[in-house]
Chain A
Amino acid sequence: MISHRPPPTPLRILRALLFLAVAAAILGPIVVIASTAFKPDGEIYDFPMRLVPKHPTLDNFAKLADRFPLYTLNSIKLTAIIVLTQLVTATTGAYAFSKLKWRRRETVFTLYLVSIMIPVQAIIIPQFLIVRNLGLYDSHWALVLTGSFTAFGTFLVKQFFQTIPDSFLEAARIDGAGEGVIFARVMLPLAKPALATQVIFSFRYFWNDFFSPLIYLTSPRLKTLPLGMADFATETYSYVGPQMAAAFISIIPVMLIFLAAQRYFVEGVAASGIKG
């Protein structure tokens, strides 16, 4: 491609410098996590800070070996279960709100929408008591059940379902398909982009979630990566190297997925704003 390159003007140079500064400011802390994770103790506070460790080591990861494999496993397991549960509740709910007709449908949907705005911290005290009375305190069930409902996900999928013409459904009904078949064979395959966005969104949220595990889990064997990492930092205040190794383990999967599926992250954010 022969492209016409505009000549550098002072304004362009200034803009390039600004972008360089911003890129450095954003990458800085991330690079610190990645490089400190592989540094021996003595190098961590060297000045000027080295980006690449002089004597790279896996010692920091070895210090995590007793607990973090379990934390990581718990995080993977819980995130997977909650993401799938949310996918079920969001898609079935979306179908009920977009393709089925029933009284008070709009009222109930408005209530769902209002709940998007309500922060979990504002309802955590009674929610905790409900969970405790159900006998679910200090179990993974507490997180799966409190995380099962997603107003945002229902909204997101509903917006997409609405773009699928009712005539598609009518055609299937005339062919004798029940609602279950229409939902599974017509709606879900067509809504793949919306489902991908929903999956990415709930993955990001629950992989990083710290507040709910902090409230609902006390047994070390149940804890997740963010909670385990925070505990570890409190107990071993000066173990900065292993702390960064733990942080590294926690940010790598989400960064890889972000690189691969950036589009869906961005579309989810944009969808909430334009239609919300």
Chain B
Amino acid sequence: MRSKNLSPRTTVAIFLLPSLLGFLVFVAAPIAMAAGMSFTNFSGGPKFRFVGLRNYAAAFGSPQFAASLGVTALFTVWTVALQLVLGLAFALLLDAKFIGRDFLRGLVFLPNVLSSVAVGLAFCLVLDPKRGPVNQFIAHLGLRPPNWLAGEDSALGTLVMVGVWQSFGYYMVLFLAGLQTINPSLYEAASIDGARAVRRFLSVTLPGLSPIAFYSLTIAIIRAFQVFDQVYVMTGGQAGGGPAGSTTVLVFDIYRNGFGAYRFGYAAAESVLLLAVVLLVTLAQDRAQRKWVSYDLA
């Protein structure tokens, strides 16, 4: 029953199936299953039953869940803010033409391609509270060095620092790409109108960057929400989660409940809440973009 301008079905099937199968089995089905499982007390065995909203009630009543949300929020706010500010600052600094510019761009992006496990182990050495080079230096100056990853108050901040170190170059590249989309004649027009550098930045650069800024913000938030490797590697492995649980982010809590305690139903409920956050952030970006972003400058 295909109309004249549709491609033959078998052709479509042959080209579509390799990706569609992976998508359906390992992405779409898990999303649907997460929702279903979250209403059960499934723990991996054959016997389980429907428990209604009990997992969600348990999550919202659990101090551990609340704490993990708090840790995640704190980590996200700091990481996102620092990554975007530094990313934008370095995009602006490295947009100008000068000798060594391309080398610096490459250097700032470099940490992005490295294994987070390798990077985590390196920072463990560098920030070792007693013998690490940083604290030896601070002590040498006669100051009291922080405990970094070993301190209840400083562990999360240290993870933020490592996360920013590794990723702000990614946002620099995004902002640099954004800067290239701004029509140069707008700067000329602004200059002719007598606009100074600050004014040009506020009324040409920033609006021109707004689409990329919203995209970066969304990506940065979602990535910060999924931080796991650093928590695992730098703050105590499978049983870890930082001194006094200070780095137990939501994803780590899901991992521990699911793969440590086999509370799959409960961990699925936590996953659904994580999915809801991701969806909300994406939708909010979409809405905000429609309202705030100027596309007409490009």
By a beta-carbon cutoff of 8 Å, the part of chain A in contact with chain B is: 15, 18-19, 22-23, 25-30, 32-33, 36, 44-45, 47-49, 88-90, 92-93, 95-96, 100-103, 108, 111-112, 114-115, 117-130, 145-146, 148-151, 154, 179-180, 183, 204, 207-208, 210-211, 214-215, 225-226, 229-230, 233-234, 240, 243-244, 246-247, 250-251, 254-255, 258, 262, 265-266, 269-270, 272-274, 276
Are the CB atoms of B12 and A96 closer together than 8 Å?
yes
- Enumerate chain A residues within 8 angstroms of B264, measured Cβ to Cβ: 125, 129
Task: Type the 1/0 row for B91-113, where 1 means its CB is closer than 8 Å to any CB of A.
Answer: 00100000010001111111111
The segment from B13-21, B59-67, B149-157, B198-206 found at the interface with A is B13-21
Are the CB atoms of B15 and A269 closer together than 8 Å?
no
**A221, chain B: closest CB distance, angstroms:** 19
Are the CB atoms of A266 and B226 closer together than 8 Å?
no
Using A122-B278, A123-B30 as known contacts, say yes or no to A255 and B174 having CB atoms under 8 A apart: no
By a beta-carbon cutoff of 8 Å, the part of chain B in contact with chain A is: 5-7, 9, 11-12, 14-16, 18-23, 25-31, 33-34, 37, 44, 90, 93, 100, 104-119, 121-126, 128, 131-133, 136-137, 140, 165, 170, 173-174, 176-178, 181, 212, 215-216, 218, 222-223, 225-226, 228-229, 232-233, 237-238, 251, 254-255, 258-259, 264, 267-268, 271, 274-275, 278, 282
Are the CB atoms of A126 and B6 closer together than 8 Å?
no
- Which of A22, A148, A273, A274 has the most chain B CB atoms closer than 10 A to its own CB? A273
**B115, chain A: closest CB distance, angstroms:** 4
**A35, chain B: closest CB distance, angstroms:** 11
Q: List 6 tightest A-B contacts by C-beta distance, closest first.
A: A149-B22, A93-B19, A270-B177, A126-B33, A247-B118, A119-B226
CA distance A40 to B226 in the complex (A): 37
CA distance A211 to B151 in the complex (A): 25
- Which of B23, B119, B123, B212 has the most chain A CB atoms closer than 10 A to its own CB? B23
Using A102-B7, A126-B29, A270-B177 as known contacts, say yes or no to A33 and B107 having CB atoms under 8 A apart: no
- Enumerate chain B residues within 8 angstroms of A101, measured Cβ to Cβ: 5-7
**B58, chain A: closest CB distance, angstroms:** 16
**A186, chain B: closest CB distance, angstroms:** 14
CA distance A145 to B115 in the complex (A): 22
**A80, chain B: closest CB distance, angstroms:** 17
**A197, chain B: closest CB distance, angstroms:** 13
B109 touches which one: A111, A211, A254, A266 (CB < 8 A)?
A266
CA distance A145 to B124 in the complex (A): 34
Q: Which residue on B lies nearest to A23, using beta carbons? A: B107
- Enumerate chain B residues within 8 angstroms of A123, measured Cβ to Cβ: 27, 30-31, 34, 271, 275
CA distance A103 to B275 in the complex (A): 29
Are the CB atoms of B118 and A183 closer together than 8 Å?
no
Are the CB atoms of A125 and B19 closer together than 8 Å?
no
Are the CB atoms of A211 and B228 closer together than 8 Å?
yes
Are the CB atoms of A251 and B267 closer together than 8 Å?
no
